[in-house]
Structure 1
């Protein structure tokens, strides 16, 4: 715990922290005695989570309600922080479900802003300070869907592919500054959003949010990517190494048809 706090403390910022996986990350890092900056749109959820964490852990917490699709608002908020951020966890995501022909242009703009522009901005801002400190960590939550074409969530999957490639490149660039970068390629997670979208039984390899958060944090510093869960690791190996791209996409098509 002391080593973790020394390496990635004293403050961690979690984007998309109000519930589900973001809240699980907050608790996992609170257990490791990191102070937290929690940002998301829903201030009521942030307050509930903060009260819970303060009651259980001796840490400081800063909450801020922010629309992570707003590039300038996010940049302004970060510029006003006067604390040393040692760890960034970017968990926020916008994932409209539907075939591309039916996705409104506004949703396309939201995907780019939330899933690509803002994690890119925050990564740039936190890494600059981390380079000065000579330590730190950056976790970009991605998805197994980002490994290949995924019908009905094609735009979401494409944005998650961006984060995988970004993390892999920065893992190599920033390690000489003592900064660990990681893309977590998660499968299905039992979050409120997934439960709402999934009309049938859980997908194979589905994990709870606390397990994904712990496995991701434990993988930090061990390589550029991680895939939480044995079933998901096997699935990624088969889909990426043994199956043809055409066959992998057809499998994804069958799995995503149930989403709504």
Structure 2
């Protein structure tokens, strides 16, 4: 169970980028975080994880997040990662092992086998000795998911994992995320493609700096809530939902 209480993030000391957001996820789920550009979706995740200064508290299974850090994985937007860093695919994935290691403890032969298994699951084993800078956007996102696989986290935050990736990579990643959910994990995903929301997510958190709605997708993915979040730029027609640029 994930409980977020009164998360507020203030950047300039005057206005709130995220304003007093509270919600609760009671069961293992794939949870989409929706909202327009500038709504504070990524900022909210960073505030929840205390990666940036924030007010409020978050609990996972009734424990403060700071006490269960080894159970949490966070994959930031690809655009925030330095592709030129001289590290191979297998080395990048192996970083997921370090939260469970003691200081100065080396990666074992058994650990490297885990890395290979994770890369095989995301169909990236043949690339394990390549530099990450040689990968496409979709391939690199699959590597980041492999890193999450070997971390064995129970609470996973993914920030726009499907931006700029190919359809094959998206399908592979979603199948892995469904498997995570079925193993009892909760996955929080910042997402922007409204056309796939009903297909992908069990629950939604819709925000525009403040919380608009939280609950089962079938209950909160409504025309009313989307208009509250996106305004008049939203078009709702049957099961098709998309945003038009403001004119």
Higher helix share: 1
Larger strand percent: 2
Identify the structure with bigger relative contact order (alpha carbons < 8 Å, sequence gap 6+).
2
Larger radius of gyration: 2
Report the TM-score, using the length of structure 1 for normalisation.
0.35
